[in-house]
Amino acid sequence: MTTTSAIQPRQLGSTGPAVYPLALGCMGMSGMYGPAEEPESLATIHAAIDAGVTLIDTGDFYGMGHNEMLLGQALRFFREKVLISVKFGAQRGPDGAWLGYDARPAAVKTALAYSLKRLGVDYIDIYRPARLDPHVPIEDTIGAIADMIKAGYVRHIGLSEVGPETIRRAAKIHPIVDLQIEYSLISRAPESKIFPVLEELGIAVTAYGVLSRGLLSGSPKNGPGDIRNRFPRFAAENQTQNQKLVAQLAEVAQSKGLTPSQLAIAWVLAKSPAIVPVIGARTRAQLTESLAALNVTFTAQEIATIEDAVPADSVAGTRYDAHQMQVLDSEK
């Protein structure tokens, strides 16, 4: 077992900063999983910073700008203690509908200008397109962000949900510090083709969905506004099979004296020192539970036992709907 004082930072690639080994993802604080209480959200962000968390992730389309404004309020007196990671480019309508992606150079700079204003900061530490815009060469998008680095508005460039070819092309234009991608016990596809390229190029992973959006922790959907209503793994016809996986994970976790959430997070931490899990804690209680995963160590045999208990190919349903799976560059 480790102790808090012995927690080692993790490097965001060969050219990026060192960060606390867990990052805080703030998407759930802006209604993506149902209603959230703003005072508790602010308290959770502050508790994360007090615990040592240095990387905080958001997106300009989370809550149509609400998430950035919330984060700006939370970080008013703590800006220099954290690194802010922002995703941009996702287009949404007033009704919340997804309309596609825009990563043209002019759109890059316009989105950045609005993010700086909502966050109330002079620069963003890591700026990344939320997805690959199929109509814009990745070289143009990365080149535009590189211009913003030269101008002092951005410090580093990241990527999100892109595949090997796009990663290589982007890295030729400017150093990339990390790829943000879904990775968990039951979402392990990046291991085969994407992770080897990242290792070769010296690019880290910021892994989101380490709890499979609450599936592995047994978190129920929270009303009609919950984004999980659109995800096949949470559809009624897949629930029976997936609940079996959750039960199996719970048994293994209990044998180790852990909650399923802690086991799932600790498993991701154990897979590689180049991976920083992004935990989507919406409350201080969830944050405390997640941070305890840093005190967990596994033997090689224990990792094998966990993976045997929750085989990646046994989950029912894909992580996104059929259309999204077809257009995701990371799935090609």
At residue 136, the pLDDT reads 98
Which ranges constitute the DSSP H helices of the chain? Answer: 38-51, 66-74, 105-119, 138-150, 164-173, 190-201, 236-256, 260-271, 284-291, 300-309, 322-327
Q: Is 183 a catalytic residue?
A: no
What integer best gives the mean pLDDT of the chain? 91
Give the whole-angstrom CA distance, residue 178 versus residue 157. 8
Whole-model pTM? 0.92
Does domain 4-331 fall under CATH 3.20.20.100? My reply is yes
Q: How confident is the model at residue 309 (pLDDT cuts 50, 70, 90)?
A: confident
Q: What is the pLDDT of residues 181-214, one digit of tens each?
A: 999 998 999 999 999 999 999 999 999 999 987 6
Contacts of 242 (CB under 8 A, 6+ apart): 215, 233, 315, 316, 317
Q: What is the pLDDT of residues 254-270, one digit of tens each?
A: 999 999 999 999 999 99
**102-114 mean pLDDT:** 98
Encoded amino acid at 307, one letter: E
The residue annotated as part of the active site, out of 20, 33, 62, 320, is 62
How, if at all, do strands 204-208 and 275-279 pair?
Answer: parallel
Judged on CB neighbours under 10 Å (0-12, 13-18, 19+), 181 is buried
Positive or negative, the CA dihedral 32, 37, 41, 47 is: negative
Locate 329 and state its tokens.
């560059």
Give the whole-angstrom CA distance, residue 98 versus residue 236. 23
Give the whole-angstrom CA distance, residue 88 versus residue 107. 9
Domain ranges of the chain: 4-331
At residue 6, the pLDDT reads 59
Give the whole-angstrom CA distance, residue 6 versus residue 178. 24
At residue 222, the pLDDT reads 60
| Range picked from 26-35, 87-96, 283-292 for highest mean pLDDT | 283-292
- Higher pLDDT pick, 48 / 242: 48
At residue 322, the pLDDT reads 78
